[in-house]
């Protein structure tokens, strides 16, 4: 692109109202809520438990913890700081911070936007089932201790093209309504209300689950490692989960970072986001496994753990119908905060790089998501036989985004931040331009971002894909 063209583009951007009137989260606390809201999601309640169940319980959790610390958290720091420095959407941030305009670093942003679409495609579907389950549990139609019956209820939902699409579209419409209201009035206001409620409900269910006779078996499962199940592919899955959980490797945190306040302490706040997310995963594990074992169900039931086993587990306990409603309600709250952040990636980009404005950008995104998402929604019905590499579209989107796009995106983000944007810029950004005295922490982070994260990611990717 010629210099003149670039200058012209800059000019046009400045006249774009979405760029001119760019706002962010109204308060530092609101930024924290929204960011935790992005991290906490179906990952904690749907993915984390079944992946831990299938890959050796505590052994998988240990690898997941290491991945979170050495890979997930550093990439989160990198994304938030670059987003905040550039004050722009994920693609524009990479373009702005790139040391030379001829280097195509903005492609990281593009791959991130692609990942956001793929994740949203299956995420809105699972969220749709969760919303449907809130209603089904209120109506009492899920109240059976026989997994055969609950599995029928699940099958009738997912194998009906009409119901699958309907619930997905309901979810998309709800998210659009919140996104249209804006970053502060929409995202921040919603997550600020939902997160505390989510926590209260989760703790209530924890107490119920942990006080059941026979709950200790579930604790043993969560905390007793079985290392024999840890294959290279399982380790890649743990790393992929760490990325998915912290919403990193694809520009969500870059976008949210661009809405953070100038005086927020990035290393300590991101660490708190990570710890809160971890706490919710553990609380979800403690809500689920003790109860599953107490009633003699199988923990490694795969993704259906949430939709087939859990309802039977609740049906087995006194007042189970009430706990079931609360459980699916809290899951729908968790899913909402995460979806808002996924939605925001393309919306921010479209609104700021075209003249369409936020409302149109939201509608365009929602329509695109409905189109791509429908291929995931129909994966258990009309399109069940349509597979690529033996995977339905639903499974393919999940695999490609979590196990490929996010780790590869994270690899390039850490390389870009550490080696091209560079240590000096990182120092400035993480010390809030000299306002914070956190030299030691920042030096440690620079070493991790430059060396540890990229090397670990390369090894895990090559190994997990069976290349070495």
Determine the interface stretch with ligand PHE among 59-67, 205-213, 338-346, 431-439 (rule: CB under 6 A). 338-346
Our finding on whether 241 is near ligand PHE (CB under 6 A) is: no
**CA pseudo-torsion sign 417, 418, 421, 427:** positive
Instruction: Please state, in angstroms and rounded to a whole number, the distance separating the CA atoms of residues 438 and 268.
Output: 10
Binding span for ligand PHE by CB under 6 A among 166-174, 215-223, 337-345, 445-453: 337-345
Two structure tokens written together for 149: 């019956």
User: Site residues for ligand PHE, window 42-101 (CB under 6 A)?
Assistant: 42-44
**Minimum distance from residue 47 beta carbon to ligand PHE (Å):** 7
Q: Does 222 bind ligand PHE (CB under 6 A)?
A: no
Q: In the complex with ligand PHE, which residue's Cβ is closer, 90 or 119?
A: 119
From CA 168, how far away is CA 127, in angstroms rounded? 7
Residue 240 within binding range of ligand PHE, rule CB under 6 A: no
Closest CA to 148 of 300, 326, 296, 311: 311
342 near ligand PHE, judged by CB under 6 A: yes
Please report the DSSP string for 397-454 in residue order.
Answer: HHHIIIIIIHHHHHHHHHHIIIIII-HHHHHHHHTTTTTS--HHHHHHHHHIIIIIHH
- Contact residue for ligand PHE among 67, 68, 127, 341 (CB under 6 A): 341
Query: What's the min distance (Å) between Cβ of 122 and ligand PHE?
Result: 11
Which is closer to ligand PHE, CB of 124 or CB of 321? 124
- In sequence order, the β-bridge partners of residue 392 are 387
Instruction: Quote the CA–CA distance of 153 and 315 in Å, as a whole number.
Output: 14
Binding to ligand PHE by residue 35, rule CB under 6 A?
Answer: no
Residue 18 binding ligand PHE, by CB under 6 A: no
**Interactions with ligand PHE, residue window 252-281 (CB under 6 A):** 252
Residue that the structure tokens 């070495």 belong to: 468
The piece of 25-33, 209-217, 242-250, 451-459 that touches ligand PHE (CB under 6 A) is: 242-250
Q: Does 311 bind ligand PHE (CB under 6 A)?
A: no
Report if residue 175 touches ligand PHE, rule: CB under 6 A.
no
- Residues 290-309 contacting ligand PHE, CB under 6 A: none
Instruction: Report the nearest approach of ligand PHE to the CB of residue 49 (Å).
Output: 12
* Chain residues 103-122 in contact with ligand PHE, contact rule CB under 6 A: 119
Please provide the DSSP assignment of 206-263 as one string.
Answer: HHHHHTSTTTHHHHHHHHSB-GGG--HHHHHHHHHHHHHHHT-SSSHHHHHHTTS-TT
Smaller CB distance to ligand PHE: residue 41 or 285? Answer: 41
Q: Is 338 in the site for ligand PHE (CB under 6 A)?
A: yes
On whether the CB atoms of residues 274 and 441 are closer than 8 A, the answer is no
**Contact at 8 Å (CB) between 401 and 245?**
no
Nearer CB in complex with ligand PHE: 406/429: 406
Q: According to the binding rule CB under 6 A, does residue 143 interact with ligand PHE?
A: no
Smaller CB distance to ligand PHE: residue 119 or 198? 119
CA nearest neighbour of 431 among 192, 69, 77: 77
Integer Cα distance of 406 and 467 in angstroms: 18
Residues at the contact surface with ligand PHE, assessed by CB under 6 A: 38-39, 41-44, 119, 244-245, 247, 252, 338, 341-342
């Amino acid at each position: 692109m010629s210099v003149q063209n670039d200058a012209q583009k800059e000019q046009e951007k400045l006249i774009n109202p979405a760029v001119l009137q760019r706002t962010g989260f109204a308060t530092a606390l609101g930024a924290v809520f929204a960011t935790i809201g992005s991290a906490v999601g179906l990952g904690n309640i749907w993915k984390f438990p079944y992946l831990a169940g299938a890959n050796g319980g505590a052994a998988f959790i240990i690898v997941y913890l290491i991945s979170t610390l050495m890979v997930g958290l550093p990439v989160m720091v990198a994304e938030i700081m670059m987003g905040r420095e550039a004050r722009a959407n994920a693609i524009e941030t990479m373009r702005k911070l790139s040391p030379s305009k001829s280097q195509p670093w903005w492609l990281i942003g593009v791959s991130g936007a692609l990942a956001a679409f793929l994740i949203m495609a299956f995420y809105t579907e699972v969220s749709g089932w969760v919303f449907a389950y809130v209603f089904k549990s209120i109506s009492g139609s899920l109240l059976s201790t026989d997994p055969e019956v609950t599995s029928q209820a699940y099958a009738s939902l997912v194998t009906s093209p009409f119901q699958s699409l309907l619930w997905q579209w309901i979810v998309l419409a709800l998210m659009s309504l919140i996104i249209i209201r804006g970053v502060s009035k929409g995202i921040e206001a919603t997550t600020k209300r939902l997160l505390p409620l989510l926590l209260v409900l989760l703790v209530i269910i924890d107490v119920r689950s942990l006080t059941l006779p026979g709950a200790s078996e579930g604790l043993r499962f969560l905390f007793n490692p079985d290392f024999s199940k840890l294959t290279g592919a399982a380790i890649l899955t743990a790393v992929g989960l760490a990325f998915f959980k912290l919403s990193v490797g694809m520009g969500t945190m870059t976008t949210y970072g661009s809405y953070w306040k100038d005086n927020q302490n990035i290393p300590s706040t991101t660490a708190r986001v990570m710890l809160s997310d971890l706490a919710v995963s553990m609380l979800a594990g403690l809500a689920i496994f003790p109860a599953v074992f107490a009633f003699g169900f199988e923990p490694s039931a795969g993704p259906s753990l949430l939709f087939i086993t859990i309802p039977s587990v609740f049906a087995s306990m006194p007042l189970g119908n009430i706990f079931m409603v609360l459980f699916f309600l809290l899951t729908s709250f968790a899913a909402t905060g995460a979806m808002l952040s996924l939605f925001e990636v393309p919306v921010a980009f479209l609104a700021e790089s075209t003249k369409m404005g936020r409302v149109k950008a939201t509608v365009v995104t929602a329509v695109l998501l409905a189109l791509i998402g429908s291929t995931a929604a129909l994966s258990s019905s009309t399109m069940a036989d349509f597979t690529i590499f033996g995977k339905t579209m639903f499974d393919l989107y999940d695999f490609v985004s979590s196990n490929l796009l996010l780790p590869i995106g994270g690899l390039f983000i850490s390389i870009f931040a550490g080696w091209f944007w560079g240590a000096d810029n990182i120092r400035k950004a993480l010390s809030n331009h000299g306002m914070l005295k956190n030299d030691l922490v920042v030096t440690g982070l620079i070493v991790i971002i430059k060396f540890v994260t990229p090397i670990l990611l390369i090894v895990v990717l090559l190994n997990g894909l069976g290349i070495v």
